[in-house]
Structures are given as C-alpha cells and as structure tokens.
A and B are shown apart, each in its own frame.
Chain A
Amino acid sequence: MPIRAQQPDVSVVTLTIDGQDLSARADETIIEVCRENKIPIPSLCWMDGLSVVGACRLCVVEVDGGPRLQAACATRVREGMSVQTNTDKLQRYRRTLVELLFAERNHVCAVCVSNGHCELQWLAQTCGVDHVRMPYRNTGYNVDSSHEMFRIDHNRCVLCTRCVRVCDEIEGAHTWDVMGRGSGCQVVTDLAKPWGESDSCTSCGKCVQVCPTGALVKQGTSVGEMVKDQQFLSILARRRSSR
C-alpha cells in the first residue's frame, strides 16, 4: 500500500539534521530533505518517483533522541524535529544490514555485469563492509534469460521491489510481483512464468534501469558493462504529478 501525502502541504517547517538547520516542505520525508541538502543517507529500496515501502531499513535515523529508529524514507518532517543520520550506532546497524544482504544471496561482484555500477557494491564500500562476518547462505537461484532483451539473475536480487513498483506504478503493467515469504521470497513475472512468456510485459526495460544491482540486466552485457540510467524516473514522475 503506497503511502502518499493525501494532499500537497505547502507549509514550511524547520528542522535540524545532524546539527544543520534546514527548512523543508511539510509533506516531505526526511530522506528527501537529506537528498536535497547533500546529506548522505544510504538507501536501497527508496527511489525518487516510486512509492515508499521502507523495506531495506538502511535509511533508519534517530529522531529527537528517541529510542525507536525511524526509516527516513517513511517519516515526514515535523516542525522542530531533530534528526541524527550518522551516529556510531546507526553506522554499525547499516554495516550489519549490508552484510546480511551479501550473506543472503550470491553477489559475486568480480564476475557481475554491474561491477562498478552497482548500488549494493557501493553501499558496502561506503558503509565500511570489507568482509561479511556471518556465514554465507549458499543457496543457488535461477537465472531467467528467456526474455529476448533482458535477463534476471535472482542470485543478485536484494528484494528491494523497485522493479515491482516501477512496473506497476509507472509502466502500469504490473508484470513483476513477489512470491513466497521470508528467505524464500523471489520476484516473479506474471504468475511465476518465465519472463519471455509473460503476457503482460511490455519490454519497456524500466525494471532493468531501476534495479540497484546486477539482478536485472540487458542481455549481451559482459562484466562491468551494465550501466543503468535512472534519470527517466524522476522526470516522468514530475511530469505526471504536474498534470
């Protein structure tokens, strides 16, 4: 269920983020204000132009010194709010979350078409993950190359569901969805049919562009060649909302 502002709120609030005094529109979320002001908060599932799911938990921040952490993507700004985005504790949590993602599936960066252009790889570096302390799960996943233009490698999927949302909310096809639960979750096309046999897929490729890792890629790319262009999304989203 997407959370959207019921109506645009044009009033302005002031808040502090990491000690910096900032102003924001009242209908903005913490992460939007951070992005505008170049305050780096790691995130994976959040994407400008898509609905908010608050699933990766990498953007958790401390609000008003309270014990309960809040996802910056799912928390609206408030007048007088005080946000800490980068305490030692938060850094430790983020490091562990990234490690959990690496241990969960088989992200072998060295032989990935997205090597060098991958958000997960970049997150590991910026969060200081130079090794993964927990044992790797070592479960093998399928690679579906049945689509004539694209490929999905579930070994590299982080279940951010950007593909699911862009397909549903922007393209309007809803080819992608999630099946299973817990560690058994997997994104699927149609009712878990091979992608190439999907009746609903329009082959627009938006899912490939928004995918943060090398899970959704173009066919025919080799190691490090898959560079994604995500500019289209915010442009599309802005044009649509202004209508």
Chain B
Amino acid sequence: MNLDDLEDLAAKYRADAGDHDTEVRVCLAASCQSSGAQPVFDALSAGCDDGAAAAPCKVKGVGCMGLCSAGPLVAVAAPEAALEAGVIYRDVSAADAPDILASTAPGAAPVERLRCPSDMPFFARQHKIVLQNAGIVDPNSFRGYVMAGGYAAMVQALTEMTAQDVINEVTASGLRGRGGGGYPTGLKWSTVAKMPAGQKYVICNADEGDPGAFMDRAILESDPHRVLEGMAIAAYAIGANKGYIYVRAEYPLAVERLKTAIRKAKRSGFLGNHICETQFNFDVEIRLGAGAFVCGEETALMASIEGGRGQPRPRPPYPAEYGLWGSPTLINNVETYANIAPIVSQGGDWFAGIGTDKSKGTKVFALAGTIVNTGLIEVDMGTRLRDIIFAIGGGIPDGRAFKAVQTGGPSGGCVPEAHLDMPVDYDSLKTLGTMMGSGGMIVMDETANMVDVARFFMEFCMDESCGKCVPCRAGTQQMHGLLERIAKAEASRADLELLEELCDVVQATSLCGLGQTAPNPVLSTLRYFRHEYEEKLG
C-alpha cells in the first residue's frame, strides 16, 4: 500500500459514511463524561435517528475539546472541520438536544444560551499539533482516523523512507521528550537504532501520575491511533517488532479505546504482520500499571512489564542499551509519540520552525487549580506563562489575586507572579527552579499556603516512594514530618535547617528521578516564599 492507495481508502470510507453536511460532536472523554456527556450523546443520537434534525447530520462521540470546566461540550461543525470553525456549546444537558438538532437546519441560528464563543482566546490562541484530531475524530473509529489523514505518515515512512530517513526527520525536528526530562528524541532513537540488530522493543510510557496532570489520558482517549502510528514509525526506525503501552489501570476509558484501536488497526492491516503489505511487522500489547507513581520511571516501568516489582535500577546501562528483558529498548511518552506522525508527514524542518531555539514544537498543558478555564491546552513552546494563565486560562476566579503556578508535578516547583513573563520551555523553567514535567499546571490564588503546598507534594512522594533506596524512602518520610511540624507552627529554626539539609541529601543521593526531584517543591517554595516558612517557626 502506498500513499495513493491510502487516499483511495479514505475516499472510500468517506463515501461509505454517507452524505451529511453537519456533524454534532459530543465530547466523550473522561472529564465530560463525569459531568454527564453520555446522556447528552444518547439524547442527540436518538433525536437524530428520529429525524429531529432539520438537515442530514450525524451525531458523533469525540475526544477532548479542551475546556473541561465547561463540560459537557458539544460542537456543531462541518465534517472534519476544525473545532474553532464550528459552533461550540457548553454545559449541555440532555434536555438541550432538540434545540441543538434544530439549529443544524440551513440558515437556523445557533442556540445562543448554550453558546461558548469559539473565538475566545482559550480556543483562538492555541496551536494544535498533538491535539489536532482531539474533539474532531471519533476515537473508537479507525475509519475516522484514516479519513482525517491518519496513518499517512506511517505509510509514507514504510514505503518511501529508510529507517535512517525517519530518524533524520525526527532529529531535525528538534523534538524533545515530552515526559518531563526533555531528552532529544532523535538522539534517543538513533542510539537504539545503532544497537546491533536483534530483538528490540518500543515502549509507550502512559503511566501519567502527576497530581493535576491529564494530558496523556486526554490524548489516548481522543486520538489513540495517533499514538499507535507514532509507535509504529518508531519501531520501523529503530528495527523493533514489538511494542508495549504501559498505561495506568486508573484510566479505564483510555485503556478501552486503546484496545479498540489496536484491534481495529490489526484487523485492517495497519498493525501486526506485513503492515500495509510491506515486510514490516509490529505488534502492540497493553500493560496495565497498578497505580505506582514510580512506574513512570523508565527502569521501574520495564521491571513492571517484565512482571517484577516496579522498582528502578541504577542507570547506566540505559534502556537504549539494556532495556526490556535485556534488549535494546526505546521508551517515549504518549505525547512524544503523538508528535511523530506530523513530523514525518510535514518534515522535521517544519516542526523546528515552531517554538523556541532549544525547545521545538508545541506542548500540551493541563490547567488545573484556581483558574477560570480548567482544561487541556496546546500552545507553542515559548508562550509566556502569563498568556497561558491569564489569556488562555482566563485568570483567577472570584476576583482573587494570583499567587503561584506549580509546574512539573511533584518533581517541579512553584513560579511566582514576578516570573510570569518567562517563556515556557524546558530550559527557562529549569532556571526558575522548576521543570516542564509532563505538563501539569496547578494555579494557586492568594489564599494558598505554600508550606501546605510543599507538604502536599512531599506526602505524595513519601507515599509513592518505592522504598528501594534509603534517601528517598527514609528521607521523604523525615522531610514530610518536618513540614508537618512547620505547618503546625511547632518547628524551630534548627528544624528548617535540617529540612534544607535533607533536601540536599535526598536530591544528590537518591537512586532515581522520583527521589532526586522530590525536594523540588520544598526548594522552590523556600526560594520564593521563604517568609511563609519563617513566620511559622517558634
């Protein structure tokens, strides 16, 4: 199969889909479902089948549209049109279904009382590459993905490019790992590719566990084929024939949609043996994580896939050299894989033109905390924090003042007002004492107590420490105890000094990233809000 055949296939699918000018998309990702999207979908579907719609239209369950705080979200748009090109409705209930269906008639006015302006900065200022299909295609539909141009990059790679060509494009794109570390993806791929031929593995790390982060969940729930396509391209590039997706069991919807996607892709010959009638074989299996945060660490993740205790081991040897069952293994995050197809289709240079000097492309962030527009956004690297929080996020609700934004989860830190004009990229966040992390952003208003914030994250790290190495196991426990004492105003200045010393020891000596970064929330709140600690000392 070549690209022309794929286009023919997409055309055939379009013809099969029947004639309709409009589609009514209902977000059926986890957060809209939790606010009651399923009854809305059912009511709209029933109404459409009964002929309540004024024009040929189709009701379609789709993935995340981003503005989770306004869910359930419904969009009315032309087939495959971008989200902003349609009419978006917020806080929809099943009772609104007849009005929405009626509005699809030619010339009919939109339902103003439900309308969410699609030109608001939340939508207008985003740049969607990873989330290109989210909220547009039906995540359960293989055909939908192909109609949206899906699998073209994989077919192109398999039929027109060598493995080295693919790696060259990824390297040229400047893509860096989206899981948090920011390691250059092209470099990682070429390292695994250079290992002697033989059994190699591709792993997708979907063990997203940072408090307040839901980017990977949304990607998997909205566009699972995109991730599979990225993995297949990666497998082709490094010479692997087997892939694992390690996803937390707490994401049942994502798991379900992934399973469906894998099944349908296999049935259509886009996964499995002789993919698209080429010599390339690639099979993907899902492995469920049992809820241990540390299993997001690559060596612990691999140990868990192998059936062992989810505990990290010292590196080197890195997975690229000695990975799953001792074989060279490529391990990337969900969002990293989701970037691959556009890079292959549109070229590394195109991607490298987006973002900042050292951080290319876009980044998906999950906005949470005290912010008006809670949800999922994708912006160019280098967008200012102020724009993300105030323009796109809509600022702080209830007229309260901004205090800090926490990025990078339990490994990250808090950025205060004074640094909001910093462009967001891997390196600038590091200079602020925090990190990109996987993309969670928790916004805090003036009522937030920073000692409590540090204590919360330390409790998280303490609970999630695997217990293997001494500094992380015993150190986080002691640091948490000291933070408790400070929070209860029972601590002395010596306690604060001991806390700072423990931060240093745990950071410097821990075995894996969990321990090495566990002190970051304390260090960054001490850096910007030291007075809040000192006020509590006896």
Direct contact of A and B (CB under 8 A): yes
Q: Which of B294, B465, B508 contacts A93 (CB 8 A)?
A: B508
> Which of chain A's residues has its CB closest to B510's CB?
A57
Q: Does A32 contact B (CB under 8 A)?
A: no
Contact A182 B471 (CB under 8 A): no
**Given A3-B313, A54-B511, A185-B467 contact (CB < 8 Å):** yes
Binary B-proximity of A77-105 (CB < 8 A = 1, otherwise 0): 00000000000000011001100110110
Q: Which of B309, B314, B473, B502 contacts A183 (CB 8 A)?
A: B473
B side interface size, CB within 8 A: 38
Contact B505 A97 (CB under 8 A): yes
Contact A100 B309 (CB under 8 A): no
Stretch with Cβ within 8 A of B (4 or more), from A8-16, A130-138, A205-213: A130-138
- The minimal Cβ–Cβ distance linking A69 to chain B, given in whole angstroms, is 6
Contact A93 B509 (CB under 8 A): yes
Contact A182 B313 (CB under 8 A): no
Contacts of B130 in A (CB 8 A): none
Q: Does B463 contact A (CB under 8 A)?
A: yes
> Which of chain A's residues has its CB closest to B497's CB?
A133
> Which of chain B's residues has its CB closest to A95's CB?
B505
**Interface majority SS (helix, strand, loop, mixed), chain B:** helix
Contact B469 A56 (CB under 8 A): yes
Contacts of B161 in A (CB 8 A): none
Contact B470 A101 (CB under 8 A): yes
Interface centre among A92, A100, A159, A178 (most CB of B within 10 A): A100
> Which of chain A's residues has its CB closest to B461's CB?
A182
Can you list 27 A-B pairs, Cβ within 8 angstroms, ordered by A?
A3-B317, A52-B314, A53-B313, A53-B468, A54-B469, A55-B470, A55-B511, A56-B470, A57-B469, A57-B470, A93-B508, A93-B509, A97-B470, A100-B471, A101-B474, A103-B474, A103-B478, A104-B473, A133-B498, A134-B481, A134-B482, A134-B498, A158-B470, A159-B470, A181-B294, A182-B477, A183-B465
Distance between Cα atoms of A117 and B197 in the complex (Å): 51
Distance between Cα atoms of A181 and B293 in the complex (Å): 11
Contact B313 A181 (CB under 8 A): no
- The minimal Cβ–Cβ distance linking B467 to chain A, given in whole angstroms, is 4
A69-B508, A92-B505, A180-B467 known; 13 new pairs, CB 8 Å cut-off, are A57-B511, A96-B501, A97-B470, A100-B470, A100-B474, A101-B470, A134-B478, A134-B498, A182-B465, A182-B467, A183-B467, A183-B477, A185-B466
Q: Which residues in chain A, 28-64, are within 8 Å of chain B measured between CB atoms?
A: 52-58, 60
Q: Does B306 contact A (CB under 8 A)?
A: yes
Contacts of B465 in A (CB 8 A): 181-183
Contact B502 A96 (CB under 8 A): yes
Contact B467 A159 (CB under 8 A): yes
Contacts of A182 in B (CB 8 A): 462-467, 473, 476-477
List the 7 closest A-B pairs by CB distance, nearest first. A185-B467, A74-B314, A54-B314, A100-B474, A182-B465, A57-B509, A96-B505
Q: Which residues in chain A, 155-206, are within 8 Å of chain B measured between CB atoms?
A: 158-159, 177-178, 180-185
Q: Does B303 contact A (CB under 8 A)?
A: yes
Q: Which residues in chain B, 379-424, are within 8 Å of chain A measured between CB atoms?
A: none
Q: Does A111 contact B (CB under 8 A)?
A: no
**Interface majority SS (helix, strand, loop, mixed), chain A:** loop
Distance between Cα atoms of A105 and B30 in the complex (Å): 43
Distance between Cα atoms of A134 and B505 in the complex (Å): 14
Contact B469 A55 (CB under 8 A): yes
Q: Does B475 contact A (CB under 8 A)?
A: yes
Contact B314 A3 (CB under 8 A): yes
**Given A54-B314, A100-B478, A183-B477, A1-B303 contact (CB < 8 Å):** yes
Q: Does A17 contact B (CB under 8 A)?
A: no
Contacts of B292 in A (CB 8 A): 181
Q: Does B198 contact A (CB under 8 A)?
A: no
Contact B474 A104 (CB under 8 A): yes
Distance between Cα atoms of A193 and B433 in the complex (Å): 46
Q: Which residues in chain B, 174-218, are within 8 Å of chain A measured between CB atoms?
A: none
Q: Does B308 contact A (CB under 8 A)?
A: yes
Distance between Cα atoms of A53 and B469 in the complex (Å): 9
Q: Does A71 contact B (CB under 8 A)?
A: yes
Distance between Cα atoms of A133 and B494 in the complex (Å): 10
Q: Which of B464, B468, B481 contacts A55 (CB 8 A)?
A: B468
- The minimal Cβ–Cβ distance linking B150 to chain A, given in whole angstroms, is 37
- The minimal Cβ–Cβ distance linking A2 to chain B, given in whole angstroms, is 9
Contacts of A55 in B (CB 8 A): 468-470, 511
Contacts of A104 in B (CB 8 A): 473-474, 477
- The minimal Cβ–Cβ distance linking A165 to chain B, given in whole angstroms, is 13
> Which of chain A's residues has its CB closest to B509's CB?
A57
- The minimal Cβ–Cβ distance linking A237 to chain B, given in whole angstroms, is 20
